[in-house]
Structures are given as C-alpha cells and as structure tokens.
Amino acid sequence: MNILQINASARSEGANSTRVANAIVARLQQAHPSARVTRRDLAVTPHLVLDEAALGALFTPADKRSAEQAARIALDDALIAEVQAADVLVLGVPMYNFGVPAQLKHWIDAVVRNGVTFRYTEKGPEGLLKGKKVFVGLARGGRYRGTEADSQVPYLKTVLGFLGITELHFIYAEGLNMGAEAAQQGFAQADADIAAAIS
C-alpha cells in the first residue's frame, strides 16, 4: 500500500492539521505495517499558483512548449505522478477563512488535469483516479461540522469525486481556538473519528 500524505497548513511546524494527518497515517500503518508513506508539506514546498503563464503552458501542445513552459508543466506532472502512485491519500487541511488553504487549492489546480486525471466523454466527465481512498484530517478554530458554513467538506467531495475518488473519510478536530478544554475535546473527537474510519 502506498500512502501519500499532503500537509496543507501554511505552518511547517506545530500545525494542528498535520498532527491529525500524522495520527491518521500512524493508524493506517498499524493496520498495514508494510505501507509506504510519501509526505509532501505544502508549507515547505508550496506549489505555484495557476496563473496566466501556467495556463498558457497547459494549452500549448507539449512539442511546442518553450523550456520555461515545459518546466512549469513538469512541476504539475510531479504532483500528478505522486497521486497516481498512491493507493491512499491523507490530507491535513486547516480551515482558513471558511475555505481550504490557498496551498491546497494550488495543489488541486495542479492535479486536476483534463485527459490525465479526468476526461470528458459523450456521457459527461469521467474521473481517472479510481480505486483510491482519501482520509481528510480537518483542523478548525471553531466548530462547523455538518453546518452550512462548512464549505470545505462539500468542495473536497465534489473535486475529488470528479477525479473518480469516491471513498472519502473526514476526521474532525474542531474548537481548537475555543480554550484548552475545547481543544482537547477537538483532538479526542479526531481520535474517535480515526478509530471509527480505520479498523
């Protein structure tokens, strides 16, 4: 089993979402001792924004790309190859201003590639990353589980489902900025979610 852990916090040290993602991976390794883990920390190596130059490179046929355009596409290709090689994805995702961190959005913009990770058919779009599982470790200052203010979970379900990934497990560490007791409860809830999701 290949596990790919993506840490999406802007913090490379002491990130709560990374703590939850680490706990998920530890539990997966307990259940599958021979699992191999690849980690990508987007605070350490943030991916580039999908800007005009990147779109220009994407829409230029591979054999017509400049060296600069080819280098830009190669950065995205590396992220796609990591996802393709993974059986299980573990995402550590803090809530920033009610959404996912820009770092994670840039990663998503890199891996969602027409003709590679999805394609359009006469019947509509088809995800090409089938048979993978995703565990998402969510870290939040407040509590939004199951409420309309939680745009993260529906968004991740939609975009990962679009890629053909339909087995998703959400692990919640909430109330982390609501005092020490609430934070402790938040991490305890995450542990309970992990135990329920991974046997």
Helix 67-85 / helix 102-111 crossing angle, nearest 10 deg: 90
Contact criterion met (CB below 8 Å) for 40 and 82: yes
Separation of alpha carbons 85 and 4, rounded Å: 8
> Smallest distance from the beta carbon of 141 to ligand FMN, in angstroms?
3
The residue written with tokens 């007791």 in the block is: 181
Binding footprint of ligand FMN on the chain (CB under 6 A): 9, 11, 15-18, 94-98, 139-142, 176-177
Min CB(190)–ligand FMN separation in Å? 11
CB of 142 to ligand FMN, least distance (A): 3
The smaller minimum CB distance to ligand FMN, of residues 80 and 102, is found at: 102
CB half-sphere exposure, 46, CA atoms < 13 A: 13
- Give whichever of 97 and 121 is closer to ligand FMN, judged by the CB atom: 97
- Of the pair 98, 120, the CB lying nearest ligand FMN is at 98
| DSSP β-ladder status, 88-94 and 2-7 | parallel
Q: Which is nearer to ligand FMN, 10 or 78 (CB)?
A: 10
CB of 153 to ligand FMN, least distance (A): 13
β-bridge partners, 36: 2
